Amino acid sequence: MSRVEEQIRAEIVEAGRRMYSRGYVASNDGNISCRLDGERLLTTPRSVSKGFMTPDMMVVVDYDGTKVAGDRDASSELPMHLEIYRNRPDVNAVVHAHPPLATGFAVAGIPLTRAVLAEVITTLGSIPIAEYGTPSTAELPDAVRKYIKAHDGLLLANHGAVTCGTSVLAAYYKMETIEHFAKISLVARLLGGENLISRGEVERLQGLRGSYGIAAPAPLCADPTAADLVDQVLCQVLEAPESSGERLVPDAAAALRQASRDGEIRLTYAELTALITDAVKHLKD
Ligand SMILES: [Zn+2]
């Protein structure tokens, strides 16, 4: 076995251990893969906790998913990884997990597409939701295909998240960033809503990517609504309001909720039902 292969096996074991210890997966969930060369890739075995893998457990497969070497079998989610490699020649590794906060957003149908953290804007940009597909069927790779050319991290509707990068740890770190971002977004929303980073500031941050040595996955969409209509999205939709001067802008919906709080009317279900019944009765009369 080459030194490079030994190194990749060790990195996959380490990423799995971190994923499990941080609660990004339960039981035997999740999977990791990495390109070995032009013909083969290494991937994690099925039916094994990703927190307790050893380097010898890895499965060697070709880019059609056929096993080339290894005592164990690859995950049934391997086709999703293969789809990512096919669409992203720049990517060497893929990580899939079910981190609970990010998966909560994926279950609620809320994408992580708001410009709120400079770190996330420079590394990942926006994190959309790939539509629901039955796990281990062709539906999941199909859903991922739409977004993967323009995004390094995706939420998977009612399932989890997937990230890709130039190395196993680079892909893993993006998973950490997504979960951290989901946690901060949840807290900010519980506290009344986010202040959004303005469009101008987003462009400034993205301009700095080069100096951080970060490859930008894709530019922002000029027409955000057009992204819904295409088979494959090649730009990113990021909620960042236009603003003259201000770099932080209160979220419009949150500001509205705040403003209407004084005039709020609270009714119990019974009171509301009584009101409606009464109104309908008057209509009939
Ligand atoms: Zn999964």
3-state secondary structure of 164: strand
pLDDT digits (tens, 9 = 90+) for 30-43: 999 999 999 999 99
Q: Tell me how far the alpha carbon of residue 79 lies from the centroid of ligand 1, in angstroms.
A: 12
Per-residue pLDDT, 41: 97
Q: Tell me how far the alpha carbon of residue 84 lies from the centroid of ligand 1, in angstroms.
A: 15
Among 17-26, 92-101, 235-244, name the one with the lowest average pLDDT: 235-244
Task: Say which amino acid occupies 159.
Answer: H
Catalytic pick from 5, 6, 39, 77?
77
Per-residue pLDDT, 148: 95
267 pLDDT band (50/70/90 cuts)? confident
Q: Tell me how far the alpha carbon of residue 251 lies from the centroid of ligand 1, in angstroms.
A: 32
Q: What's the start-to-end Cα distance of the chain, in Å?
A: 87
Distance in angstroms (rounded) separating the CA atoms of residues 125 and 110: 16
DSSP letter at 272 equals H
77 is catalytic: yes
Q: Tell me how far the alpha carbon of residue 101 lies from the centroid of ligand 1, in angstroms.
A: 15
Among 140-144, 192-196, 221-225, 250-254, name the one with the lowest average pLDDT: 250-254
The whole model's pTM is what?
A: 0.87
State mean pLDDT over 28-55. 97
State mean pLDDT over 63-85. 96
Please list, in sequence order, all residues whose beta carbon lies within 8 angstroms of the beta carbon of residue 178, skipping any fewer than 6 positions away. 99, 102, 112, 124, 127, 153, 155, 161, 163
State mean pLDDT over 245-258. 76
Q: Using alpha carbons only, what angle is made at residue 195 by residues 191 and 200, rounded to the nearest 5 degrees?
A: 165
pLDDT digits (tens, 9 = 90+) for 1-20: 899 999 999 999 999 999 99
21 pLDDT band (50/70/90 cuts)? very high
Among 49-63, 65-79, 221-235, name the one with the lowest average pLDDT: 221-235
Question: Which regions of the chain does DSSP assign to beta strands (E)?
Answer: 31-35, 40-43, 59-62, 67-69, 93-97, 129-130, 153-156, 160-165, 195-197, 248-250
Per-residue pLDDT, 251: 80
Per-residue pLDDT, 244: 82
Contact (CB, 8 A) for 34 and 92: yes
Report percent pLDDT > 70 for the chain.
92
Q: Tell me how far the alpha carbon of residue 159 lies from the centroid of ligand 1, in angstroms.
A: 6
Distance in angstroms (rounded) separating the CA atoms of residues 102 and 97: 10
Measuring CA to CA, how many Å separate 198 from each of 149, 192, 216, 225, 251?
A: 25, 19, 19, 19, 11
Among 20-24, 63-67, 191-195, 224-228, name the one with the lowest average pLDDT: 224-228
Q: Tell me how far the alpha carbon of residue 96 lies from the centroid of ligand 1, in angstroms.
A: 6
